[in-house]
Structure 1
Amino acid sequence: MTQAKVKFSSFEEYLSYDDGTDQLYELWNGELVALPPESGLNFQIATFLLLQLVPFIDYRRIRGHGLELQVRGEPQNRFPDLTVLREEHIEQLKRRNTILLSMAPPLLVVEIVSPGETNRSRDYTNKREQYEDRGIPEYWIVDPQTQSVTVLQLEAGAYQEIGAFQGDQVISSSTFPMLNLTPAQIFSA
């Protein structure tokens, strides 16, 4: 039996949808697009970064791939590989792990680039534009292919590239200035 496609007229309508699975969906033009499972390498890198951040911030303020972030444009939601929340998000996300447009943006989002030109474009261009529009103060693009970490910082409403760090260069982060971390450590973990 073929199941009819679900079409949503608003993001709020989508939020009330539950298909009884743990499948993550992006909402494109009112229709659900299932996301593939995260790669083992991306999960490993995100976990390593989470463990590096825990000494500096309450672990409840760090979320992995399952956190949903409402954004403007298409798709209307993203699932960053790693997100650092604000203190008020802890209580706000108890019911549903979704940061809505009506909420303050997270402090930091990290995307780990998956192989393929489409994924590169998505992380370096599309998500960059949506996260910038959302007002997220800092965005990291962790790229296993180039073994680099690009740090973007929001200044006067636009992302400025702080650096594309490689090898033993210490990653510069205004959100975590005390973090003494290099791309070499990330990619060898």
Structure 2
Amino acid sequence: MAMPVPRDEGDLKAAGLVLPTTGPWTVDDLARLPDDGLQYELFDGMLVVSPAPLPAHQSAVSELHVLLHAGCPPDLQVFVAPLNYQPDRFTSAQPDLLVAQREHGEEHDVRRPLQLAVEVLSPSTRRKDLTVKRETYARTGVAAYWIVDPDKESIRVLELTDGAYEQVGEVTGDERLTVEHPFPVTLHPASLLRS
């Protein structure tokens, strides 16, 4: 499970980093962290560090990317992590997959609300994906959120309505579900999630 990482001035200096020791973390602080294969995210100014994903997780992400890329209209673009979604100074999330307006492709980080965020659950990120990220995506206006569970071979589809997510569908195993947002695509977990 991803754990909040406290800022200890001695640890930061030993790592060659000098960051403020008081107050919440900001995206500016995040930009000074090392590129070491770990996932660094901010939620309301709290730094959360997650380990690199496992092969089964990456396989599911790859299959979903192919599916989304194939159906993506020209005004949208599909991205694979790591890419920062930074809607404010104290929030920086890295969805496993995200769909944004094409104009975002020229920016360093995506700042406007996403059309879709997709998280593939893994043992180290399950709690964060189901709680903190869900709340963050809803609060910042992400239009749709898919929660993919390779262990259950399922995909849960949520859409934002009046500031909260409502489940509009769930598909498991060999079932199929066609969703319309952010563009029409048919989900078939058996072909997407089996390694």
User: Scaled by the length of structure 2, what TM-score is found?
Assistant: 0.76
Matched residue, 2:168:
162
Structure 1 residues 111 and 12, CA gap change in structure 2 (3 angstroms): closer
Q: For residues 35 and 27 of structure 1, do their structure 2 counterparts lie closer, same or farther at Cα, with a shift above 3 Å needed?
A: same
Determine if contact 2:171/2:187 at 8 Å carries over to the other structure: no
Distance change in 2, residues 1:121/1:88 (3 Å): same
Per the alignment, residue 66 of structure 1 pairs with: 82
SS of equivalent to 1:165: strand
Identity %: 30
Q: TM-score, normalised by structure 1?
A: 0.78
Matched ranges for 1:31-180 at <5 A: 33-57=48-72, 58=74, 61-70=77-86, 76-91=91-106, 93=107, 96=108, 98-100=109-111, 104-115=112-123, 119-176=125-182, 178-180=184-186
Structure 1 pair 115/50, CA: closer, same or farther in 2 (3 Å)? Answer: same
Give the CA deviation at 1:55.
2.1
One-letter amino acid of the counterpart of residue 113, structure 1: L
Unaligned ranges ≥5, structure 2: 1-12
Instruction: Mark the CA change 1:31 to 1:2 in structure 2 (over 3 Å): closer, same or farther.
Output: farther
Higher relative contact order (CA 8 A, sep 6+): 2
More strand by share: 2
Partner of 1:7: 19
1:183 is displaced (CA, Å) by 1.2
Counting matched residue pairs gives 179
Q: 1:155 Cα shift?
A: 1.2
CA RMSD of aligned residues (A): 3.0
CA contact (8 A) 1:81 1:111 kept: yes
Letter of the structure 2 residue corresponding to residue 114 of structure 1: S
Closer/same/farther in 2, CA of residues 6 and 51 from structure 1, 3 Å limit: same
d(CA) in 1 for partners of 2:183, 2:84: 26
Q: Tell me, what secondary structure is at the counterpart of 2:119?
A: strand
Partner SS for 1:50: helix
Unaligned runs of 5+ in 1: none
